[in-house]
Amino acid sequence: MPPVAPMLAKPVDAIPDGDYVFEPKWDGFRSIVFRDGAEVEIGSRNERPMTRYFPELVAAVLANLPRRCVIDGEIVLPDFAAGRLDFEALQLRIHPAASRVRLLASQTPAHFVAFDLLALDSADYTGQPFADRRAALESALAGAGSPVHLTPATTDKAVAAQWFSQFEGAGLDGLIAKSPDLLYEPDKRVMFKIKHERTADCVVAGYRPHKTGDDAVGSLLLGLYRSDGELASVGVVGAFPMAQRRALRAELEPLVTTFDGHPWNWARPSDGVRTPRSSEFSRWNAGKDLSFIPLRPERVVEVRYDHMEGPRFRHTTQFVRWRPDRAPRTCTYAQLEEPVSYNLSDILSEKSIIPNEQG
């Protein structure tokens, strides 16, 4: 019965050697789907219900999944015209208005990619090894069709390495490695995830105060120059020890400026509006204040990132070092590594599965 916390993965630096099953790491909303006859529930990574946001997936579950089952997977939003996943559009699917939910369900329908089986009919599969769960999942979804998909899986490390290098071009996020003997352990990091890791030199154009007060930096706002000379907002870096947060606050004080002449003067607060723009808000926390303190764009920082989502870093970056030797105007998009293009449709139709001798 819902809710159930999904099994988690811990990061590793490289594709591991040994006896593993490798799967693509999808970039969407992790979800556990529950079906009991005509009843369907979709649970989130944080065990919260998401059923109301994806009515088209409820219909897909009823049409494609066994009558009684619990299946772990990922909600993704494919842009087949572009040949890749669209996480930005997927984020917009979380909307409070029922009319908007219905409209988006028809305009940007989501898909469900299944990769683990927790229960089927009256059988609990969480205590069975992953190789057995995978075989049962393949059988259960043998007749399923789009928008429900079975994720590709392979035991061949060379194939996994090829996926790792190619699938990013379709918007995927790396690889997951599972032991064939792995039991399903909710909320435990017992799988491995291998993600792309790169660095970029970015301009620091502002900061947000820490939640404890204005004497510490919460996050630094990063920018990259476009070819037209405009400084684009690309993301943040924010994982600092508290002592460093306070030191940064004092260190950046001489660079504090006004929005007059700042490249992001669109963020100038309006009367009675705390947020940078009246339409600026956090999709995950509507009450979160996204205003910031502008800085003269004179400092350069090197950050570590995994991949881009459009013109921005997909996730929060990690601090590497300051770059006093780098001129801010040289921090452009041209330095970023471009993944090789790969068609998403080819991945969703992949048939690579665990060999029979492993279950």
**How remote is the C-alpha of 124 from its chain's centroid?**
29
Residue tagged 């979709």 (tokens): 42
Rounded to a whole number of angstroms, the distance between the first and last alpha carbons of the chain is 27
Catalytic residue among 10, 25, 188, 211: 25
> What are the beta bridge partners of residue 221?
206, 236
Query: Residue 168 has what DSSP assignment?
Result: G
Sign for the CA dihedral angle at 282, 283, 284, 287 comes to: positive
Closest by CA position to 255, among listed 221, 201, 206, 322: 206
Tokens of 232: 């684009």
| 288 noted as active-site residue | no
Tokens of 290: 């996204």
Those residues with Cβ within 8 angstroms of residue 79's Cβ, 6 or more apart along the chain or in another chain: 85, 86, 89, 344
d(CA 215, CA 231): 27
d(CA 200, CA 237): 12
Check if the beta carbon of residue 135 is closer than 8 Å to that of residue 354: yes
d(CA 111, CA 147): 5
Query: Residue 336 has what DSSP assignment?
Result: S
Kindly give the residue spans of alpha helices, DSSP state H, lying in 32-173. 55-64, 87-91, 98-107, 130-140, 157-166
| Residues assigned a catalytic role | 25
